[in-house]
Amino acid sequence: MGLLAYGDTGWGDELFFATLMTIAVAAAAMFIGFFLAAIFATLKLSKFKVLNLIGSFYTTVFRGVPELLVIYLFFFGGSGAVMYVAKIFGYDGYIEINAFITGAVSIGVISGAYSTEVFRGAIQSINKGQFEASHVLGFKKKIYYYKIIIPQMLRLALPNISNVWQITLKDTSLISVTGLVEIMRMSYIAAGSTRDPLFFYSFAAVLYLFLTFLSMQLFNKLEKHYSKGY
């Protein structure tokens, strides 16, 4: 157990910070995913077939292709793409894309594909009557979206969002190729240095289980809160 000591002799503090990093990347990825999901869910619900296809293309590709492949795409190709875009705008200088961004974006794009389906499903299952009632009552589109539809959508979507969060959290274990020091990478370093892979990978499993447990508690609380009054 001395291996886990906090401070110079043990790996305890490194693993603690690595865990925080895992949470940070996963949160950033979820956030990026929500941003993308808002766009693509709208596309999928649109009246125009072309927009629907674009939306479906996104969800099909990023839920169907293995995560590692997506991560390689962004890691090996990411900076090239960003610099290409920047060049178009006339910027030819030094662009640094750090490991955190690369990791968060690659997992975020995948997370977004799942979230898109969740948002779409939630909006579609909101009772049509709600839309009609709001219209009849003369609510302006913006108001009824924010005050009526979206809260309901969140309530319906919450259990599924919890699932997407679990997936996103576990997917962060795959971004070690970018060099970001999250749980998996830290365990890898510790295992290599101490030649005790069994201990450190098992401990990594414990850390993930702990995060899973915390997440479940958090989402249970959220679900209770949003179910009030129904």
Which three-class secondary structure state does DSSP give residue 170? helix
Which residue lies nearer to other proteins by CB, 86 or 133?
86
Interface stretch with other proteins, choices 121-129, 147-155, 166-174, 220-228 (CB under 8 A): 166-174
Does 177 interact with other proteins (rule: CB under 8 A)? yes
Encoded one letter per residue, x for contact with other proteins by CB under 8 A and - for no contact, window 28-47 reads -------x------------
Interface stretch with other proteins, choices 41-49, 126-134, 150-158, 193-201 (CB under 8 A): 193-201
Residue closest to 119 by CA, chosen among 80, 153, 165, 69? 153
Residue 140 main-chain phi, psi, to 5 deg: -70, 150
Does 92 interact with other proteins (rule: CB under 8 A)? yes
Q: For the segment 97-136, give every residue that binds other proteins (CB under 8 A).
A: 97-98, 101
Least distance from other proteins to the Cβ atom of residue 228, Å: 25
With vertex at residue 66, the alpha carbon angle to CA 46 and CA 72, rounded to the nearest 5 degrees, is 105
Among 51, 152, 160, 196, which residue interacts with other proteins (rule: CB under 8 A)?
A: 196
Least distance from other proteins to the Cβ atom of residue 229, Å: 26
* C-alpha–C-alpha distance, residues 170 and 22, integer Å: 9
Among 3, 52, 170, 219, which residue interacts with other proteins (rule: CB under 8 A)?
A: 170
Does 67 interact with other proteins (rule: CB under 8 A)? yes
* C-alpha–C-alpha distance, residues 227 and 120, integer Å: 20
* C-alpha–C-alpha distance, residues 124 and 150, integer Å: 12
Q: What radius of gyration, in Å, describes the C-alpha atoms of the chain?
A: 21
Q: Are 178 and 103 in contact (CB under 8 A)?
A: yes
> What residues contact residue 113 under an 8 Å CB cut-off, 6+ apart?
33, 36, 40, 58, 59, 61, 62, 63
Among 52, 54, 173, 222, which residue interacts with other proteins (rule: CB under 8 A)?
A: 173
Residues making contact with other proteins (CB under 8 A):
8, 35, 60-61, 64-70, 72-73, 75-80, 82, 86, 91-98, 101, 166, 170-171, 173-174, 176-179, 184, 191-193, 195-198, 201-202, 204-205, 208-209, 212-213
